[in-house]
């Protein structure tokens, strides 16, 4: 199979509306059961099973079995990056109800993009780090961390000397679909998001990948960056 056929194959998998909804639901980095993904996509369990099999065979999802249940999640960070990029290039999502409007506001405000911070929060933090020279722009794909930045991230509880990114891009420039600017992904983005959750600065919201910035988080944003963060 040549490169063009590979592109067509992946595009056909993502281009189906039901499969696109399933992929979007998994962008928070969590694993979800087939039944919940069927409900999200608005299809029957049988139809969902067929869609999920195609996504697994296409290496976009992986499946894990726990007892009688099968849980699906994105195969890796590269899949999440690709989906986020497509969402950034797509027209704005139509809003057809008050509930959809409220959910979209929350997701735009602060969310996870696979395993890192995104939305207005992720972009605001990235801009603050660039303005303070904690980050530099190495290329179209990657940020760099300065010595000042490495020292600063210790205040988050992130010691960049203590571990290695392995095969992941260290600080990926990830195009944010709602803000149309870049936020920090990759290994650094994952470490920062984990620290924000562990510090109690953000909390996951049930049933969505939206995040709630806590009072402690607002205090930290004010102390560290002079941000007056409002929902």
Element (H, E) at 98: helix 98-109
Parse the chain into domains and list their residue ranges.
3-75, 88-225
Tens-digit pLDDT string for the chain (231 aa) = 455 566 777 778 888 889 988 998 888 778 889 999 999 889 999 999 999 999 999 999 999 988 888 899 898 888 888 888 777 766 666 656 556 557 778 889 999 988 999 999 999 999 999 999 999 999 999 999 999 999 999 999 999 987 777 778 899 999 898 898 999 999 999 999 999 999 999 999 887 889 999 999 999 999 999 999 986
Q: Which residues contact 93 (CB under 8 A, 6 or more apart)?
A: 104
pLDDT, residue 132, reads 98
pTM exceeds 0.85, yes or no: no
Confirm if 209 and 197 have CB atoms less than 8 A apart: no
Backbone angle region of 176, left / alpha / beta, with phi > 0 → left and psi within -120 to 50 → alpha: beta
As a CATH number, domain 3-75 is 1.10.10.10
Select from 206, 205, 207, 201 the least CA-distant residue to 220.
Answer: 201
pLDDT, residue 9, reads 79
CA 109 to chain centre: 13
**Measured between alpha carbons, how far is 182 from 22 in angstroms, rounded to an integer?**
24
Element (H, E) at 229: none
């Amino acid at each position: 199979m040549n490169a063009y056929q590979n592109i067509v194959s992946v595009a056909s998998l993502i281009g189906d509306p039901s499969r696109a909804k399933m992929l979007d639901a998994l962008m928070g980095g969590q694993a979800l059961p087939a039944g919940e993904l069927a409900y999200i996509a608005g299809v029957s369990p049988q139809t969902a099973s067929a869609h999920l099999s195609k996504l697994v065979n296409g290496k976009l999802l992986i499946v894990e079995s726990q007892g009688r249940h099968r849980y699906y999640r994105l195969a890796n960070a590269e899949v999440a990056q690709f989906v986020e990029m497509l969402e950034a290039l797509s027209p704005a999502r139509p809003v057809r109800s008050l509930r959809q409007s409220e959910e979209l506001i929350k997701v735009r405000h602060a969310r996870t993009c696979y395993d890192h911070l995104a939305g207005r929060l992720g972009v605001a933090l990235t801009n603050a780090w660039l303005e303070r020279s904690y980050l530099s722009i190495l290329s179209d794909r990657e940020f760099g961390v300065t010595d000042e930045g490495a020292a600063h991230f210790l205040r988050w509880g992130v010691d960049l000397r203590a571990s290695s990114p392995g095969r992941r891009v260290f600080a990926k420039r990830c195009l944010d679909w709602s803000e149309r600017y870049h936020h920090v992904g990759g290994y650094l983005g994952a470490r920062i998001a984990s620290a924000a959750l562990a510090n109690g600065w953000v909390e996951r919201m049930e049933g969505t990948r939206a995040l709630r910035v806590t009072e402690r988080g607002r205090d930290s944003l004010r102390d560290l960056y002079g941000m007056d963060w409002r929902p």
